[in-house]
Structure 1
């Protein structure tokens, strides 16, 4: 009997040590970072910057897998079915993880229970952009044209519920105009059509390089201050259009049940890359405001954003048809 008790004690002690041992060896193989949006948009740019920096921090390959569709829900559904060992991570976004639960009757995941918040990354303001050859020089020109011909103008987005869609609906609400929404499968394809002149306008968080390159024109920034990347572009508030604050946020999440020791290790690697590595600079270069922090801080922010987006969705009347 005493031998049995000793054996059980050894087994229990070994089990208790498993998370620590796993954290010491983690990652012991390549890590997949699921980006639930197509290549070419802001989310993809953020995801690839994160993957490159974590590869340098871990000494193991971190690769991006774009799993787009249903406003980010398809990739997120696949993510929550992954093993909770830290070898599959998610680029969590305000669209998928804060807006979608209020836009879709069924997302295929619980916005809180199915995730382990790991690390916040950045917030990027939305910018109203038009083709470089557009006659619109200001948001007030857009408003005047929309009032003259209700429903004729069209704005694009990366899909129902993403930040570009909600920004467009918020603009319609505060300006009291009727503009048609054209959803795309990702912001990249929509932005391509703006650059090509096939789409008249859109709100976007990944347009800064194209604005600086002269491929599109920025009319206003949907933030409480101007962007240092485009300091000559005013905020909506400066132009007398009140209530136009819209941004996109990004973070790293793990599946529910991921060992705390692994979460802590990934969080430390992300924060290191943000503060002293290349990641902070790469994010700033695409117009992001870096937001480092602990897993608990990201969790509190995430829950607060779920509540904020619930109110925003109700205000704009945006829903999934």
Structure 2
């Protein structure tokens, strides 16, 4: 009996030792083939452009291509569940936003996944306020004008979002409730589709992240930004609070995660590579010109952000009376 205990103890010690020596080897050999970065929305948006530029730079840093795979639908849950079910080997990653990680499942009676426990956090990536938009031909020239029109014509104005349960959906509802207006929501599979609908006058209003290039081109009219302060890239746009007196602040943010169980050395390798890419001044300047703030983080900061945002938007759901989506 005593010899059996000793044997098991030695086996356990050897297993720990093997694991400790194998872990650095995992990172040393990674990656040795292309990595797939799942983009859970339709293409053609500002964040789509950011993701593709970032993926190319990350691939350069890692020595293997990072291929962006668009899997839109169901407010990003189709792409997210695809990654959730992927092998935890570091070759399938997800870029998700606040809606993916903090809002969508808060609106479900039966959550599709647990954003904290079903994924391995890697790094925060970019953030931007939402740009409050209307059609270029609209007679509305300010957000206060828009609120007045919406109050005079309840539920006659349609707004687009990137899916029921998206952060843009909840942020718009938060504003509408506080402004005392009623709008009609129209869900799409990505902000590219929302912008197309706005250009075609199928909708008259939207909260869209990364829309600065479209505002500058004159294709849409920017009324405000949802940040607490004006942004350097578009100082002419007032905040929602400045424009209307409504205290409604929201920030679009995106993070990179991997499937649950991804080895720590791989997570560290990815995190370090993202940090190097995020530190490139030319890339920071390019993204800033598009209205995005680019910056990496620790994996722990991703978890903290998800938990804080989940608590905040659950409260908004209750106050706004947003119904469940299942």
Task: Give the TM-score of the pair, scaled to structure 1.
Answer: 0.93
List per-residue Cα deviations over 1:177-229 (Å, max 9, x = no partner). 11111111222111112122232111110211100111111011111111222
Q: 1:191 aligns with which of 192, 195, 204?
A: 195
Mapped contact 2:175–2:246 kept (Cα < 8 A): no
Unaligned runs of 5+ in 2: 1-5
| Stretches (4+) displaced over 6 A | 2-11
| 2:320 pairs with 1:316 | yes
Instruction: Give the equivalent residue in structure 1 for 2:56.
Output: 52
**C-alpha RMSD of matched pairs (Å):** 2.2
Matches of 1:319 and 1:279 in 2, distance apart? 40
Secondary structure, aligned partner of 1:253: strand
Q: 1:227 aligns with which of 216, 227, 231?
A: 231
Mapped contact 1:53–1:279 kept (Cα < 8 A): no
Instruction: Give the equivalent residue in structure 2 for 1:27.
Output: 31
Task: Give the TM-score of the pair, scaled to structure 2.
Answer: 0.91
Shift of 1:168: 1.7
Instruction: Give the equivalent residue in structure 2 for 1:203.
Output: 207
Matches of 1:307 and 1:105 in 2, distance apart? 16
Q: Aligned pair in 2 of structure 1 residues 90, 282: CA closer, same or farther (>3 Å)? A: farther
Q: 2:178 aligns with which of 174, 177, 201?
A: 174
Q: Aligned pair in 2 of structure 1 residues 39, 106: CA closer, same or farther (>3 Å)? A: farther
Instruction: Give the equivalent residue in structure 2 for 1:123.
Output: 127
Unaligned runs of 5+ in 1: none
Matches of 1:279 and 1:296 in 2, distance apart? 24
Instruction: Give the equivalent residue in structure 2 for 1:71.
Output: 75
Instruction: Give the equivalent residue in structure 1 for 2:155.
Output: 151
Matches of 2:282 and 2:270 in 1, distance apart? 16
List per-residue Cα deviations over 1:64-120 (Å, max 9, x = no partner). 111111111111111111111111111021011111121122342112110111111
Q: How many residues align?
A: 320
